[in-house]
Amino acid sequence: VSVTFPRGFRAAGTTAGMKPSGRPDLGLLVADPVQSVAGLFTTNAFAAAPVRLSTRRLSRGVPHAVVVNSGQANAGTGLRGDHDAEQTTALVAEALQLDASDVLACSTGVIGEPLHMEQYLGAIPGLVSSLSDAGGDAFAEAIMTTDAVPKVAAAERAGYRVGGCAKGVGMIAPDLQLATMLVFITTDAPVPPSDIRLLATETLEPRFESLTVDACTSTNDTVLLLSSGAAGGDLVVSGTDAWVELTAAVDEVATSLLLQLAADAEGANHVILVEVSGAESEQHAQAVAREVAESILVKTAVFGGDPNPGRILQAIGSSGVPFLPQLVDGFIGDVQVIAAGEIAPSYFDGGDEAARLALVEEREVVVSVSLGNGQGRSRMIGVDLSYDYVKINAEYST
Amino acid sequence: VSVTFPRGFRAAGTTAGMKPSGRPDLGLLVADPVQSVAGLFTTNAFAAAPVRLSTRRLSRGVPHAVVVNSGQANAGTGLRGDHDAEQTTALVAEALQLDASDVLACSTGVIGEPLHMEQYLGAIPGLVSSLSDAGGDAFAEAIMTTDAVPKVAAAERAGYRVGGCAKGVGMIAPDLQLATMLVFITTDAPVPPSDIRLLATETLEPRFESLTVDACTSTNDTVLLLSSGAAGGDLVVSGTDAWVELTAAVDEVATSLLLQLAADAEGANHVILVEVSGAESEQHAQAVAREVAESILVKTAVFGGDPNPGRILQAIGSSGVPFLPQLVDGFIGDVQVIAAGEIAPSYFDGGDEAARLALVEEREVVVSVSLGNGQGRSRMIGVDLSYDYVKINAEYST
């Protein structure tokens, strides 16, 4: 599984010693051959040095390899950060007999702390020599920070393989492009450079934009989609049957990674799926869904096992989206808690207990809202807010 | 002190028995005579019944009285809620020998729960008969929900008196007009109806919009400004010296109430004053200040006594405001933590400890950011996010 499930990819992970925990902290992924690459990056104005380097190199060529370190984010590190990112990718390129411009970089960890260059550079030769087509799991482990478990997924359709891995437990919010989330998705389907970006923006971007852990957009978010083309055959381009199959496989991997990211979110006991329908447009539906999913009053209520439809109603109303209050319905699981813009009368007649059970007995809580205003629908994936979230974030420097 | 400090106001508070805690839950404030009234209300689409009633009556006349209950928000209660609000104000009007249209209503408490009408109506005669010009403190206590202390303030300038009280500990966020915040400000200065709204929008609105406890805009937020005119003398109109004096007194009372609200916010150990300067415009400065003040990563870091400049940098960068990263400076108290867009080198050389002390030793933490991009400045008042915030909001139904 993971990123080496598709043919034409090698990966590796090692412990360079840059992380205080002493766990694996350096990973390398190489497409060989490479057909095409696309990337989605954070919109944060303080984008990290590796984000700026990768954005630049992706715009000019078809990079073959990506080196990823965990422990230091190499963000807020100024010119030194740029220089360090250049140097690490140059050494990787040399060991792989590639041009430096063929190597991308990702970093995740503490913002402001410079890369521990001695350990980083010292580990590169060993990392390169351990590259293998079974290295996907080692790579997935090396990119973790406070993640409890690695997130990996794989799918196969119409002879095309898609693999992926991701890391991220906090500082995750949607903002055109995503958050402290690193996601790597590989495929052996031969997608030409002209179409891979479309696959990324049409299939991956909306998926990863629907995840909001804490409404904070990171400096380092990166999603890379790499095609080796090793499956052979005709080029897979937009509008063909093969494209539909490949899109479905990529979607399957992305959705799996997304739910794994939410389930492992810092301190989260519940994943909250907010499904909004009946909005005037998809944008309106998304705005309402985001307001509910990011409301810390809703998040703490879910943590406390309190259905609290009043807070859901308050969040819907503060979204800025126009609608008629008296047409709004809302459900927790299958239990109606908002009816015609009021707390459902049944809620005060036993419905509260049914709603409470729908919360506490499910790890994935579904909150659905119908605005009665049109055909627009959208979904956001959030998580509850627990003591552990506060504990982790009050005690850990990111 | 409180709302009966200015001449021409009577107030009262009593225990009607609508709140499970058995604490005072019904208050009444009457201007006698009344010169003018202005109100600011929530923008939440699910505005509570009393908000809709008060908005309507304010637009058509000069109401004399406002009755306030705590315990039930009378929001999400549909037509029954409208009917209940009409009925309570009608009974108050009758006892005061006023027209029903002269009485405003405010509610705060659990959303969706109907008013406990039997207790509410039963308590009105006693409430009216206990009205007195020393009743301001009883009124301030009756409007509390989970507030630990009443918030009251008073100021006097150029012979004009201004008094005020407020309640609100959560569901507070700025949104054109405010949040589960009820604020009552009275003055005996004779401000004509044509100018009182200006005083409210120019002086009160920006003040109360700068407070963000949890980024959640309530269904019930109301700020009322009442003039009795009992100080006598010339009408106080915009552009006069008297106006400047009155504005200063109103500002003093508003600012005091604001800081009291922040200090008593649910679970808050620190008030966070985010001051942004050097923005292209005031709007840009406010957007950056809000992003920092509402970042739950910044809030939990402050709670944990962790200066964490990386999270401040991340929040600045995700505001969507354009600026040059290399011109950005940031301070915690007097300690520089961001210099020229990077974590300040001094931070890694003892500055972290100085910044930590600036956090843990002050109840009011000042985070200042300079964008180096212009003359725009703004300030937001936020609070930290503690275990107690989660505890209160996971266990209490609002």
**Which pTM value belongs to this model?**
0.79
Q: How many residues comprise chain B? A: 398
| Cα–Cα distance measured from residue B298 to residue B367, given in angstroms and rounded to the nearest whole number | 10
pLDDT tens-digit profile of B219-270? 888 999 999 999 999 999 999 999 999 999 999 999 999 889 888 877 788 8
A42 → chain B, closest CA residue = B318
Given A315, A386, A398, which is nearest B297 (Cβ)? A398
Look at residue A175 in the predicted model and tell me its pLDDT. Answer: 38
Tens of pLDDT, residues A173-199? 543 233 378 999 999 999 999 899 999
Q: Is the pLDDT of residue B290 over 70?
A: yes
Does the beta-carbon distance from A318 to B214 stay under 8 Å? no
Q: Mind giving me the DSSP string for A39-98? A: EEE---TT--HHHHHHHHHHHHS---EEEEEEEE---S-HHHHHHHHHHHHHHHHHHHT-
Q: What is the mean pLDDT of chain A?
A: 90
pLDDT at position B288 is 95
When the pLDDT of each residue in chain B is averaged and rounded to a whole number, the result is 90
Q: Which of B112, B218, B306 sits opposite A394 (nearest CB)?
A: B306
* Cβ(B356)–Cβ(B305) below 8 Å: yes
Closest CA to A185 of A166, A210, A213: A166
Q: Exactly one of B88, B180, B203, B398 is catalytic; name it.
A: B180
Contacts of B299 (CB under 8 A, 6+ apart): B272, B382, B383, B384, B385
Please state the rounded mean pLDDT for residues A267-283: 91
Burial of A100 (0-12, 13-18, 19+ CB in 10 A): middle
A180 among known catalytic residues: yes
- Count the Cβ atoms, other than its own, within 10 Å of residue A192: 14
Q: What is the pLDDT of residue A213?
A: 65
Contact across the interface for B111 and A311, Cβ inside 8 Å: yes
Q: What is the per-residue pLDDT for B146?
A: 78
Binary contact (A394, B338; C-beta < 8 A): no
pLDDT at B212 over 80: no
Measure CB to CB from residue B45 to each of A218, A323, A387 and give the nearest one.
A323
Q: What is the tens place of the pLDDT at every residue in B85-126?
A: 999 999 999 999 999 999 999 999 888 889 999 999 999 999
Please name the residue of chain A whose CA is at the shortest distance from the CA of residue B299: A394
Task: State yes or no: pLDDT of B324 exceeds 70.
Answer: yes
Assess contact for B74 and B85: CB atoms under 8 A: yes
The gap between the terminal CA atoms of chain A, to the nearest Å, is: 29
Say which range, A49-53, B258-262, B282-286, has the weakest mean pLDDT.
Answer: B258-262
pLDDT above 60 (res B188): yes
Split at pLDDT 50, 70, 90, the class of A216 is: low
Q: Is the ipTM of this complex over 0.95?
A: no
Neighboring chain B residues of A215 at a CB cutoff of 8 Å: 294-296
pLDDT (mean) for B136-147? 92
Instruction: Return the closest-CA partner of residue A120 out of A65, A181, A49, A71.
Output: A71
Is there a contact between B397 and A310 if contact means CB atoms under 8 Å apart? yes
Which of A247-256, B193-202, B379-388 comes out lowest in average pLDDT? B379-388
CB A39 within 8 A of CB A54: yes
The predicted pLDDT at position B18 comes to: 94
